[in-house]
Amino acid sequence: MSALSDLKRHLRPGQVYRRKDLARWSNAVDRHVRQLLDEGRLEKVSAGVYMAPRQTRLGAAPAKPEKLVETFLGDDRFLMVSPNAFNGLGVGTTQLYNEPVVYNRKRHGKFTLDGRVYDFRMRPSVPKRLSKEILLVDLLHNLDRLPEDKSAVLPRALERAKEMDRSRLAKAVQDFGSARAERLLSPVLERA
Q: Which amino acid is at 115?
A: G
Predicted confidence (pLDDT) per residue in 27-84, tens digit = 899 999 999 999 999 999 988 999 999 888 888 788 889 999 999 999 999 999 988 8
Q: Comparing 54-63, 124-133, 181-190, which segment has the lowest mean pLDDT?
A: 54-63
Burial class (CB in 10 A: 0-12, 13-18, 19+), 11: middle
Q: Indicate if the pLDDT at residue 17 is higher than 80.
A: yes
Asked whether the CA dihedral 162, 124, 48, 39 is positive or negative, the reply is negative
Where do the structural domains in the chain lie, given as residue ranges? 3-56, 66-187
Asked whether the CA dihedral 23, 67, 78, 144 is positive or negative, the reply is positive
| pTM passes above 0.85 | no
Annotation: CATH topology of 3-56: Arc Repressor Mutant, subunit A (1.10.10)
Q: Indicate if the pLDDT at residue 192 is higher than 80.
A: no
Mean pLDDT over 164-186 rounds to 90
